Homo-oligomer: A and B are copies of this chain.
Amino acid sequence: MQNPLILVTNDDGISSKGIRELIGIARSLGDVIVVAPDGPQSGKSHSITQEKVIQFRHIVSTQGYDEYACSGTPVDAVKIALHEICKTRKPDFVFSGINHGTNASVSVLYSGTMGAAIEGTINGMHSVGFSIDDYSDDAEFSHILPHIHDIAQEIVANGLPAGVSLNVNFPKACDKPLAGVKVVRGAKGNWIEQFYPANHPYGLKTFWMAGSFLNYEPDAEDTDLYVIKQNFGSIVPIHVDFNAYEHFAEIGKRF
């Protein structure tokens, strides 16, 4: 039987530590192709590049393993992998990450890591995004790698339902081993932005966007944020369906 083909991508860029760790795991489970942004693409959500050209370059080639760096967003990377780089053999799986920073709760909406995973699912590939609640370039991954391996192996063996991706998040390394993983829902919450003046030399109004996260339901035990705080990894099965069916009847009467 042919090895499965796993497309690995991320949003922190092809040279980040997180994708290096994920490539290692993917290579133990199948053939691997890496198509990842050539630089940081955090917060790019599901965006695509239309107003500029997209460029890619081939970096590494060994048997059953190629790497390409591409300009543009994580979703661009998945699209160009599917339609231009992998023309002769469609990937079976998309692994995105390991993201340096959490994508739990509402962050799934802003995340380029999860944008890539969702784009994989939309195009019929079994897709999962992995993230850790540690933003440093040199984040410690050793406590979660065996768990990511087990999750990835299970997905390679059994796939995922059509239309469903997994959003997997882990706590930062601490003095205890990871307590395990739990399948939960994404917590309700929101980012509250703050804009910090960037001190333009001629006084133009320039700002850095930053923010702090507000968890609307910190006591809800069935949520990703809750279990991560308890030192578990969280697995949230996600899908994309924007239709607000429960409001169709009422809004239908108004227009």
Do A207 and B54 form a contact, CB below 8 Å, given A122-B106, A122-B190?
A: yes
Query: With the chains together, A123 CA to B163 CA distance in Å?
Result: 28
Q: With the chains together, A147 CA to B1 CA distance in Å?
A: 58
Residues of B within 8 A of A240 (CB): 106, 109, 242
Most chain B C-beta atoms within 10 Å of own C-beta, residue among A193, A204, A250, A255: A255
Q: Is the interface of A mostly helix, strand, loop or mixed?
A: mixed
A248 touches B244 (CB 8 A): no
Which segment of A21-29, A41-49, A88-96, A171-179 sits at the interface?
Answer: A41-49
Cα–Cα distance between A183 and B255 once the two chains are bound (Å)? 7
Asked if A209 and B243 make an inter-chain contact with CB atoms under 8 angstroms apart, the answer reads: no
Q: List CB contacts (< 8 Å) of A149-164 with chain B.
A: 151, 154, 158, 160-161, 163-164
| Distance in angstroms between the alpha carbons of A208 and B80 in the assembled complex | 10
Distance in Å: Cβ of A51 to nearest Cβ of chain B = 5
From A39, which residue of chain B is reached at the shortest CB distance?
B51
- The answer to whether A248 and B183 touch (CB under 8 A), given A43-B48, A242-B238, is yes
B43 touching A50, Cβ below 8 Å: yes
Give which listed residue, B108, B185, B245, contacts A248 with CB less than 8 A.
Answer: B185
Tell me which residues from 42 to 65 in chain A have a Cβ below 8 Å from any Cβ of chain B.
Answer: 42-51, 53-57
Shortest A202–chain B CB gap in Å is 11
Judge whether A45 and B43 touch: CB under 8 Å: no
Contacts of A251 in B (CB 8 A): 160-161, 164, 166, 183, 235, 237
Residues on A lying within 8 angstroms of B by beta carbon are 40, 42-51, 53-57, 73, 75-76, 79-80, 82-84, 106, 108-110, 112, 115, 118, 122-123, 151, 154, 158, 160-161, 163-164, 166-167, 181-183, 185-186, 190, 193-195, 198, 200, 204-209, 235-240, 242-245, 247-248, 250-252, 254-255
